Structure 1
């Protein structure tokens, strides 16, 4: 099924460019929002699978709009924040708020289409190296340490593989366990960390010290 996309950006020319790009790549654009305050009503109206969210908007910014959408809906769309700089503090906060990933505005059209399709399925981490660079520029903090300590040894192992960019199927093959067992571990990890998706879980894992650079995918 082709993912339906909502565009949230205060620049009309940016929205028009993204619409043309996505439609050229075979994706459906079902709505637009010119401000973060418009996002939740437009999501309710158009029911997109993915929101391309400009992280910096006047009024309600992309971080607050992300929080609103995820808090208000039982089955919210995936949110992909769009930014100019990959080390942007706004992006870090957006991922912690529950965004599924981020894109640079200078990304190629194929990268944007790939990102939309990836976050729509929710089974893979988008651009794991970019998230690693973003998060590891900050020292580990203590606000998630208690939650991280509740992970079992196997759950921590699965989380490290997620941070390395492995899909559920890849993890099952690497650990020689069933796909259903992997899904159970992933669900338990999300519940224990209070995470809604893979990106949020990985950011929390880095911040708590469960995952460290050089520690990924068995390195």
Structure 2
């Protein structure tokens, strides 16, 4: 009995990595139909409708459509039928949490066994609600459980929070995002309620715990 062939596009900006992954994940029912090294090439391939699952690195600079979360969100909007498996070297729980909340439900760390991509592809292809996290990613989510508060934030709240803990004042954020100071303040307060902190100093401590800012920066906020 022949299993359905799953057509896969591999994307990574290192040709040697692409070759290595391709040799490992090509199985009787996984077919790597194309490879790409940036977002421009990915979009050209997806426009042809050639794949079921995109396996892509998180960081691939130089493409017309960027990389990371903005690239993945664009692909999810434009090609809702395509499933995505993200590969990454990142261990920042806040960014990984944001990646998960953006709709990427299969994430594999490049520090884990590359053969895990086979399971990730099958799960991604089988259901738009299935999740697969390689051991390193799963451990990060388990250890930094408090980072899950970020998943409840709206995109605008998350944006305001990140700018605020980076050191920007409310007025500066308002100017950069072209919103009123009242709106920015309201979004900041809403984000703080959702993650369960009441004071700015606690917000900075939280940001350190989940990896949004380095610990040394809090000393300037006391």
TM-score norm. by structure 1 comes to 0.57
Residue 122 of structure 2 aligns with which residue?
117
Pick one of 1, 4, 8 that aligns with 1:5. Answer: 8
RMSD: 2.8
Cα–Cα, structure 1 residues 30 and 62, in superposed 2: closer, same or farther, change >3 Å?
Answer: farther
Q: Is the 8 A contact 1:30 1:46 kept in 2?
A: no
Distance 1:76 1:208 in 2: 33
Quote the Cα distance in structure 1 between the aligned partners of 2:49 and 2:112: 26
Q: How does 1:40-59 map to 2 (within 5 A)?
A: 40-59=43-62
Q: What does residue range 11-160 of structure 1 map to in structure 2 within 5 Å?
A: 11-24=14-27, 26-59=29-62, 60-73=66-79, 75-87=80-92, 89-122=94-127, 124-127=130-133, 130=138, 132-133=141-142, 136-138=145-147, 140-141=149-150, 143=153
- SS of aligned partner of 2:34: strand
Q: Which runs of no fewer than 5 residues in structure 1 stay unpaired?
A: 145-206, 210-219
> Displacement, 1:95?
1.9
Looking at structure 2, the residues matched to 58 and 36 of structure 1 have their Cα atoms a distance apart, in angstroms, of 8
**Alignment partners' CA distance in 2, 1:32 and 1:65:** 16
In our comparison, the structure showing a higher alpha carbon Rg is 2
- Give the unaligned 5+ runs of structure 2: 155-193, 197-222
Provide the rounded CA distance (Å) in 1 between the counterparts of 2:142 and 2:92. Answer: 8
* Cα distance, 1:86 vs structure 2: 4.1
